[in-house]
Structure 1
């Protein structure tokens, strides 16, 4: 396919995308009913000129990560995604996953929260995050963000204080529980393998005695320390609240708020 035709198709998909359904906060969206090229560039973390070149059909080397981000932002179906990947010189993913689709009302509620607020699917792939989450946990709005794989990364072990006891152990409980409940979820299986392959995690997985959790035990009232440099110079205690909208376990709505009501997220 000629790049000009691909760019024309991409332009149509962008203009048809409702900004209310975008997984990440759209800068200055106002009352517009479409996404601009600048919106796309900011959401993808590239320059507006670089993104515009793709829609103009310029023959450049566009990274697979950028293309995956476009697929996610525009919620392209498997055929559209395959066209975009192939048209930019990439092989389409072998096992595309059907992303959970939050309702506009749920996304609006998520964006209204005055704390870190995000949505994740059964495999903990992030499908939505508010502006506060993007500011204090920028990894949440990166293409392909996954809560579990990030939580066991070196970056997370610095931000999530008392990491092994307060964070790693309870997260492994939930990951193990989900893995047993949804054995046919290939993406979840990939996440488990990635987490178990992280430094030091195999030992935790094999030796940690799981807590008594049920499928309804999504939230945890235990205070946990997190370092948010834009909030306070020292780690603060937070509370993690997780909800399953209308008992729909294909989505998790997670809110991370300060235990001290006097601490606010700018």
Structure 2
């Protein structure tokens, strides 16, 4: 088989050697605990990698060559020692026969300027949130449609599920057209994102409500969903009154920790926004 015919994964042993070679020993965690003679020549050798990982050198060589079964913990520690970025770490997990954990997905608490510009060019109510459903940025139309979104740290799930909240009051037919979708999405997150402290806090907060617990625990099908893309739900908007809203969700490939949600009125033309600022939000509802 010629070089051009080799599958891309055949390059991984060479790539891993390159990752070791580019690593400055001063930046490698745990080097200070090794005897100085182990790295006198300044290179991050297979032998040093094995010492740092607490395995014999032969076992480490198997990782670089994709031979045998390497534990997920060992792969994670190897990525840390090599200083791999998320894309590189994901490749190493796959090369070692593992599914990359969500922990290697970069988290971005702030929204980059180009994505903010995109947000403010959208002609419908739209906002950016993180993977805990916390609102990070919203456009002017969203502030008019959903005034509660202006509160610092507003959380979509907590606002739309909390009793007597301003957001929930806007959700017409809440128990049949809103709550089941949100509960199914959170139920999935509670399992898939079990190591995400932020999402687990959201789950605990919304379940303080007896009504939410009844819906959550009483669902005989125990449905889960990633996101109810393109579902159409009835809502009360400040400028228009009752409308049907199509809920769309987008996630940028470069920033998978972010998601944009757009509410598009169905068979309805958005009115011009009034001059001046949108109305202030009502104080957040307390969850019993």
Q: Same fold (TM over 0.5)?
A: yes
Q: Give deviations 1:38-69, integer Å, cap 9, x for gaps.
A: xxxxxxxxxxxxxxxxxxxxxxxxxxxxxxxx
Match of 1:118 in 2: 127
Structure 1 unmatched runs, 5+: 1-97
Q: Is the 8 A contact 1:231 1:265 kept in 2?
A: no
How do 1:151-170 residues align onto structure 2 when only pairs under 5 Å count?
Answer: 151-153=160-162, 154=164, 155-170=166-181
Cα shift at 1:139: 1.2
Which of the numbers 247, 250, 254 marks the counterpart of 1:240? 247
When residues 111 and 219 of structure 1 are mapped into structure 2, their CA distance, relative to the original with a 3 A threshold, is: farther
Structure-2 change in CA distance of 1:265 and 1:185 (3 Å): farther
| Residue 251 of structure 1: how far off its partner (Å) | 1.1
Counterpart of 1:134 in structure 2 is 143
Task: Determine the structure 1 residue equivalent to 2:33.
Answer: none
> What is the root-mean-square deviation of aligned Cα atoms in Å?
1.9
Count residues with an aligned counterpart. 164
User: TM-score, normalising length from structure 1?
Assistant: 0.57
Q: Compared with structure 1, are the counterparts of its residues 147 and 265 closer, same or farther at alpha carbon in structure 2 (3 Å cutoff)?
A: farther
- Gaps of at least 5 residues in structure 2 are 1-106, 274-288
Deviations 1:220-250 (A, max 9, x none): 2232000013123xx1100000011116431
Distance 2:228 2:118 in 1: 18
Q: TM-score, normalised by structure 2?
A: 0.53
- For the pair shown, the structure with the greater C-alpha radius of gyration is 2
Moved over 6 A (4+): none
Distance in 2 between the 1:258 and 1:151 partners? 18
